[in-house]
């Protein structure tokens, strides 16, 4: 499978490459959807908010507002997704209801620092998801299944070996191979740049 690193993908986005936009959405939309749901949005609203966040990022990126030398892609995506998510909540009236015992509307707004932690988790999940998607075409199906059962489903080595009819050593080798490849792929699927840029 041929694929673009995130750096190359961003370069292609600047040139209004339609295929690059589709690939960018495929790569990052699931993580953004997952994040805005943590802000309290339902499934349909989360899908709409994620699309709005990605379109906003794309527009600002093409207008020159995002500089990878000054910050990471995840920081900029977070800032945009957080604001879009809050606006979506406001449109649904979710910021207008003050809970019993509270004297301030601010208690209804998700804390930005906690939300950043949630976004980072969602972003890491998205990177892992993309790594595994790439690996589907590189390793044997049984190797991937053994990894998923052992690491993602948290089954024991013995359980996985019995389920797949292989030795425990085979299961451990599968885990080692997939983890090694994930570590190799990860830097190319993230956008590593100098930290310290303002969010969004």
Per-residue pLDDT tens for 32-71?
999 999 998 999 999 999 999 999 999 998 888 877 676 7
Classify residue 49 as exposed, middle or buried by CB count within 10 Å of its CB (0-12, 13-18, 19+): buried
Interaxial angle between packed helices 18-38 and 73-91, expressed in degrees from 0 to 180 and rounded to the nearest 10: 60
Per-residue pLDDT tens for 99-141?
444 444 444 566 788 889 999 999 999 989 989 988 988 999 9
More confident residue, 4 or 75: 75
Look at residue 144 and tell me whether its pLDDT is greater than 90: yes
Task: Give the pLDDT band (50/70/90) at residue 160.
Answer: very high
Instruction: Find, among 43, 68, 66, 42, the residue nearest to 54 by Cα.
Output: 66
Query: What pLDDT is attached to residue 106?
Result: 41
Mean pLDDT, residues 140-145 taken together: 94
Phi-psi region of 195 (alpha: psi -120 to 50; beta: other; left: phi over 0): beta
Structure tokens at 110: 């998700």
CA 77/CA 66 separation, integer angstroms: 10
Query: What pLDDT is attached to residue 2?
Result: 56
Share of the chain above pLDDT 70, in %: 82
Query: What pLDDT is attached to residue 37?
Result: 94
Domain locations in the chain as residue ranges: 6-189
Look at residue 196 and tell me whether its pLDDT is greater than 70: no
Radius of gyration, alpha carbons of the chain: 20
10 Å Cβ neighbour count for 48? 16
10 Å Cβ neighbour count for 51? 15
CA 118/CA 59 separation, integer angstroms: 25
Task: Give the pLDDT band (50/70/90) at residue 186.
Answer: confident
CA 130/CA 182 separation, integer angstroms: 10
Look at residue 96 and tell me whether its pLDDT is greater than 90: no
CA 97/CA 120 separation, integer angstroms: 28
Average pLDDT for the chain: 83
Give the predicted TM-score (pTM) of the model: 0.74
Per-residue pLDDT tens for 7-28?
888 888 888 778 889 999 999 9
Query: What pLDDT is attached to residue 191?
Result: 59
Query: What pLDDT is attached to residue 108?
Result: 55
Q: Where are the beta strands (DSSP E) in the chain?
A: none
Mapped onto helix, strand or coil, the DSSP state of residue 124 is helix
């Amino acid at each position: 499978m041929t694929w673009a690193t995130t750096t190359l993908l961003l370069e292609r986005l600047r040139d209004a490459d339609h295929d690059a936009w589709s690939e960018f959405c495929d790569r990052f939309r699931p993580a953004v959807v997952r994040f805005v749901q943590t802000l309290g949005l339902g499934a349909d609203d989360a899908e709409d908010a994620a699309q709005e966040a990605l379109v906003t990022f794309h527009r600002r990126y093409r207008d020159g507002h995002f500089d990878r030398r000054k910050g990471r892609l995840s920081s900029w995506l977070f800032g945009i997704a957080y604001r879009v998510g809050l606006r979506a909540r406001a449109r649904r009236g979710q910021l207008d209801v003050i809970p019993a015992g509270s004297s301030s509307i601010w208690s209804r707004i998700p804390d930005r620092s906690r939300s950043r932690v949630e976004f980072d988790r969602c972003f890491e999940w998205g990177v892992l998801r993309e790594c595994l998607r790439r690996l589907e075409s590189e390793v044997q199906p049984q190797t991937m299944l053994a990894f998923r059962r052992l690491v993602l489903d948290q089954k024991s080595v013995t359980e996985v070996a019995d389920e797949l009819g292989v030795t425990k050593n085979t299961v451990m080798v599968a885990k080692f191979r997939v983890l090694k490849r994930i570590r190799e792929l990860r830097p190319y699927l993230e956008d590593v740049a100098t930290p310290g840029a303002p969010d969004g």
